[in-house]
Amino acid sequence: MIRLARLGAIGLIASVLAAIGAEPARLPADQLAKAVRSDSISIPTPGELFAALEKPGKTDWSGQYRGPIPVTYRNRAQIALNLGGLIADGFVAVEAKDSQQVKNIGSDIIKLAKALGVSQNLLSRGNSINEFAENNEWDTLQEELEATQNEVKSSMQSHSDQDLVILVSLGGWIRGTQVVSGAIMHNYDERSVSEQLPGIEKLVSFPADKAPSLDEVRKVNEAVGKVMEEIENKAVAK
């Protein structure tokens, strides 16, 4: 059975939802300690998740698009979560080889980065993303998205915003999990699932001799879908 406990996700997500509606944006020390331990396990990037999913066969990446999200949040914790989610969306658009979608998402990434005060070093990244998308340089685009995520984290770390660094990682992980579980759910094949699970074992744990059922995959997708709704919902940011 797929379980998110491997990354301590249940406690971590609860901490995140509490942080979204709280001021100040910094996580309490005990919650931050839990998040740090989870981050030390090395949360997989969206690119790593999607690469593992692509191995068994062709994936309908455009079928995993979501509608536009607000880019005018006031709560820094919520901004960080949504920034991570948008970077994951960028990876989806790259996998779909959709240049316009990449450019749209890149623009939103810059807007949220500005709200966190880390936009100065990212402006050139935004221009590069547009240029690479225009020229259909998909491998380079994926590298640029990874570099963008790392630059965001580096900038926040330099300002002692480690809690926000963790939230960016978590936002990308949640959105990535939503995409992966959604893709598996709509193209379910037990044999295929068995082949791809070793590639995403950093994300889930399950019995080695049994592939997850369609219902278990659906539950993961529904759970992360609800979390994404909470992350995107401006009404919770006070």
Domain ranges of the chain: 46-236
- Give pTM, 2 decimals: 0.70
Those residues whose C-beta lies under 8 Å from the C-beta of residue 14, and which sit 6 or more positions away, are: none
- Other CB atoms within 10 A of residue 59 CB: 21
Reduce the secondary structure of 59-74 to three states and give it as a string.
CCHHHHCCCCCCCCCC
What are the phi and psi torsion angles at 3 (to 5°)? -130, 140
Q: What is the pLDDT tens value at each position of the chain, 238 positions in all? A: 333 333 344 344 444 444 444 343 344 555 444 444 444 445 667 777 777 666 556 788 999 999 999 999 989 999 999 999 999 999 999 999 999 999 999 999 999 988 888 866 677 788 889 999 999 999 999 899 888 888 888 888 887 788 888 889 889 988 988 998 888 788 766 656 544 444 444 345 556 677 777 887 777 777 777 767 877 876 655 5
Helix, strand, coil in percent for the chain, rounding step 5: 70, 0, 25
